[in-house]
Amino acid sequence: MTMDVMWLRSSALEVGVITYGARIVSVRAPDRDGTWGETTLALADVDAYRSAPGYLGACVGRYANRIAGARFTLDGTEYRIRPNEGENVLHGGPDGFDSYEWSTDGPDGSSVMLRHTSPDGDNGFPGTLAAAVTYRVDGAELSIEHTATTDEPTVVNLTNHTYWNLAGGGSAEDHEVQLHASHFLPVDGRSLPTGPPVPVDGTPLDFRSPARLGARIRDGHPQLVAVRGHDHNYVVDGTPGELRAAARVVEPRSGRTLELRTDQPGVQFYSANMLNGTQVLHDAARPARPTPSAWRRRPSRTRRTTPTTRRRCCAPARSTAPGWSSRSARRSRAAAAAHPTRVPERIVRCAPLVPPGVDVGGTTPGAGSRAASPIVHPIE
């Protein structure tokens, strides 16, 4: 099945979005030489997205990341969620937000809003949840804003699951990663937290100074062995609630750089360990510029909140192999496993993500989030 792609454009960035899973299917930008290319891991058509694992490009929910034991207690009531990863729940369970067609009125210039309503009891979650995601391009910056309203107390954690490879093909091991985080959350082999955050000092998980991804990913440290690479939540330095730098990734050959800013407490760093190389990736065709859009968008009645995730992309490349994925709308796995947060005042604000082939993200349900600002630009 062919894809009806909605294109958002600026002079420095082109982003393709589809309604299935509210997915990002393309992010194109120039490298340091001005050559445009694809920076995301993309598939050829909707059927490929329906059958492929990995949540490529999707908006995931109701609850991104894991819920241990497929249950949580809220206001004294235990809720059991349909498991989809052994006895645990991943990204909201089976038939999560990534598997639905979202509604939209189409692009409005350089932005587009997509909406999905999850009924009370969906996969076991309480309350009717009306979710929306807005993608917006401004120069070399892509922002992703997640909002949600509910009619009764519930839990929610929305994020974007795009994968990036700034190299334009091949391995992402030469990407240089920097995380502004002094502590991380240790996990077991099921990617569930084993305790409170611990210092990164003296471990291969210390990315406070830039380090090449491939230099550490095969280290024999127990935390890397447990999840076959990087898949950890980092506590972002600084004050939660204030927009601050969380991560920076540089691809030295192309000159592409991605910077992530967030007001959330944590950022998830994931090196695409679950991708096994069987997906047939697709270099999204770049439509002629300009192409008048056939979409029209009516005024929206959805209540908006402050969360936004921005990405600046001035240097793309063809994504022909797994890279890394960055999320700025996921909460710490410790909280996810122990006690999901209640949604206060019937409105939830979630910070979106930033997707590369390595995963970086963080969020706390119920906390207003102005999600990170990823920036991709050439290195002088």
Helix, strand or coil, per DSSP, at residue 198: strand
pLDDT recorded at residue 320 = 27
Give the domain extent around 137.
Answer: 6-172+274-371
The pLDDT of 210-216, averaged and rounded, is 94
Answer whether residue 15 is part of any domain.
yes
Rounded Cα distance, 299 and 2, in Å: 28
Answer whether residue 269 is part of any domain.
no
More confident residue, 323 or 375: 323
User: pLDDT tens digits for 344-360?
Assistant: 322 332 332 233 344 33
pLDDT recorded at residue 123 = 97
Answer whether residue 239 is part of any domain.
no
Mean of the per-residue pLDDT values of the chain:
78
pLDDT recorded at residue 283 = 58
Domain count, the chain: 1
CATH label of the domain that carries residue 357: 2.70.98.10
User: pLDDT tens digits for 100-148?
Assistant: 999 999 999 899 999 999 999 999 999 999 999 999 999 999 898 999 9
Whether the pLDDT of residue 289 is over 60: the answer is no
Answer whether residue 247 is part of any domain.
no
pLDDT recorded at residue 56 = 93
Answer whether residue 142 is part of any domain.
yes
Whether the pLDDT of residue 164 is over 90: the answer is no
Answer whether residue 236 is part of any domain.
no
Answer whether residue 71 is part of any domain.
yes
Answer whether 65's CB lies under 8 Å from 93's CB. Answer: no
Helix, strand or coil, per DSSP, at residue 346: helix
Rounded Cα distance, 326 and 310, in Å: 12
Q: Give the model's confidence band at 268: pLDDT under 50 very low, under 70 low, under 90 confident, else very high.
A: confident
Model pTM?
0.77
Question: What is the phi-psi region of residue 214: left when phi exceeds 0, alpha when psi lies from -120 to 50, beta otherwise?
Answer: alpha
Answer whether residue 251 is part of any domain.
no
Q: Give the model's confidence band at 47: pLDDT under 50 very low, under 70 low, under 90 confident, else very high.
A: very high
Provide, rounded to the nearest whole percent, the portion of the chain with pLDDT above 70: 74
Residues 6+ apart with CB under 8 A from 121: none
Answer whether 348's CB lies under 8 Å from 61's CB. Answer: no
Dump the DSSP string for 17-86.
Answer: EETBTTEEEEEEEE-TTS-EEE-B---SSHHHHHH-SS-TT-EE-SB-SEEGGGEEEETTEEEE---SBT
User: pLDDT tens digits for 169-208?
Assistant: 788 899 999 999 999 999 999 999 999 999 999 999 999 9
Relative to beta strand 375-376, strand 309-313 is parallel
Out of 26-40, 124-138, 304-318, pick the least confident: 304-318
Residues 6+ apart with CB under 8 A from 40: 24, 25, 26, 27, 57, 162, 163, 164, 165, 319, 355
Rounded Cα distance, 350 and 154, in Å: 14
